[in-house]
Amino acid sequence: MQKLAIQGGARLNGEVRISGAKNAALPIMCASLLSADDLYLSNLPDMHDVATMEKLLQQMGVRISTVARGATFNAGQVDKLEAPYDMVKTMRAAILVLGPLLARFGEARVSLPGGCAIGSRPVDLHIKGLQAMGAEIHIEHGYIHATAKRLKGARISFDLVSVTGTENLMMAAALADGVTTLENAAREPEVVDLANCLIAMGAKISGVGSDTITIQGVSSLHGAQYRVMPDRIESGTFLVAAAATGGKITLSEARADILENVLDKLREAGASIVVSDSHITLEMLRRPKAVNVRTAPYPAFPTDMQAQFMALNTIAEGSSVVVETIFENRFMHVQELRRLGAQIEVEGNTAIIKGCAQLEGATIMATDLRASACLVIAGLVAQGETIVDRIYHLDRGYEHIEAKLSALGAQIRRLK
């Protein structure tokens, strides 16, 4: 089990390049299944979940040739319409092959994703939407068996805003017979990025970025070249780390227009922020002020930034309230932060944090992707050494994080 050893106290300074967005790359890679032509993707991030998705697609017969920070995907010879349990259990985003396989091949066998640390994370909305489009779906032995001669356009209204639910059904609808309307659809920038890639492949989609998306099915899609958007959660994570350590950093290849709510919260905490169309500079000249946070679907405050802001609040001036409304168990980092001396009380989906002047380094354990980022931030500000264990969680969703942090002056190294 690999660990990170962090000596707290260094202020982060310098410039860091933001990688392609994990949560845009994963659905866009699955979109390659919708055509027999080459889909060339650039700005793909180098991280474990992307490698897992490549393996999953390759075992289906997708031919992948990689170049630096990019790859060409060709689904012309797909011969296995299955996503096996051993791959789905480590990455629930594997569910995103379901819609494309059904739409192009009329059949799919996808393992039900297990729950994960942050919640049960069902896929009932994905299944209900595909059934509304005429798919026959049976669940047996932990697998979703789906068949459909040809999916039909339908009006689908989501009970809950679901990011991958919206993505799966948008991909399925792209090749369906007729028009599909997705109501109460997710508005996340990653959903928009997928839609833009599908449009480049010949899909007819309107309403992208709003809560009502309309897809006019076409008979086939062609290849395309597409650049994956920058990762807004990686951007937010580095900005919070700079704010917590009282430093000054510039993000390059970053987009501020998809981070408005996070930037507003950082300004509220006392940071000064300057943005251009590709850079974000943050400077924190004082101890952060505590800020209240309530997660909700985009464009509200993102749940994937909740843990990082909790780390900031543990050393901020004053008390704060953090409310997690998306996942039922996304406070796994609280116990670990308490081991560093943080003062946090939890009542259901609400955490109350009393800022303290100083955290003390300790050995702590990552439990999920964004919780591990939170613990790294806490280690950067804690006095003395902090050891973060089980950092395979971190490697799933951040590209070379300790190299990027070291380049900004952090005292951080990986222990084999």
- Does 124 help bind ligand EPZ (rule: CB under 6 A)? yes
- Residue 97 interacting with ligand EPZ (CB under 6 A): no
Q: By CB under 6 A, is residue 119 in contact with ligand EPZ? A: yes
Give the closest residue to 152 by CA, choosing from 181, 184, 110, 194: 181
Looking at the Cβ atoms of 248 and 265, the one nearer to ligand EPZ is 265
Instruction: Supply 50's token pair.
Output: 């992307």
Q: Is 123 in the site for ligand EPZ (CB under 6 A)?
A: yes
Residue 324 binds to ligand EPZ (criterion: CB under 6 A): no
Which range in 35-43, 118-126, 148-156, 340-348 contacts ligand EPZ by CB under 6 A?
Answer: 118-126
Stretch of 1-9, 51-59, 124-132, 341-349 lying at the interface with ligand EPZ (CB under 6 A): 124-132
- Of 239 and 369, nearer to ligand EPZ (C-beta) is 369
d(CA 139, CA 63): 29
Of 174 and 369, nearer to ligand EPZ (C-beta) is 369
Determine if 163 is a binding residue for ligand EPZ (CB under 6 A): yes
Closest CA to 161 of 94, 214, 210, 203: 210
* Strand order from edge to edge, sheet including 350-354: 293-294, 319-323, 350-354, 343-347
Exposed, middle or buried: residue 356 (CB in 10 Å: 0-12, 13-18, 19+)? middle
Task: Provide the strand spans (E) within 11-162.
Answer: 13-17, 38-42, 63-67, 70-74, 82-83, 107-111, 136-140, 143-147, 155-157
26, burial (CB in 10 Å: exposed 0-12, middle 13-18, buried 19+): buried
Which token pair is 216?
């006019």
Asked if 111 touches ligand EPZ (CB under 6 A), the answer is: no
Residue 197 bears catalytic tag: no
Q: Is 45 among the residues that bind ligand EPZ (CB under 6 A)?
A: no
Closest Cα to residue 113, out of 138, 86, 132, 140? 86
Q: Which of 30, 116, 197, 356 is catalytic?
A: 116
Task: Provide the 8-state DSSP code for 18.
Answer: P
Tokens of 19: 């990688």
Site string for ligand EPZ, 245-284 (x = CB under 6 A): ----------------------------------------
Residue 320 in contact with ligand EPZ, rule: CB under 6 A: no
Using rule CB under 6 A, residue 327 touches ligand EPZ: yes
Q: What is the 3-class SS of 162-194, one letter each residue? A: CHHHHHHHHHHHHCCECEEEEECCCCCHHHHHH
* Residue 333 is a binding residue for ligand EPZ (CB under 6 A): no
Residues between 14 and 43 with contacts to ligand EPZ, criterion CB under 6 A: 22-23, 26
**What positions carry a catalytic annotation?**
116
The residues of the shown chain that bind ligand EPZ, judged by CB under 6 A, are: 22-23, 26, 93, 119, 121-126, 160, 162-165, 190, 303-304, 326-327, 369-370, 397
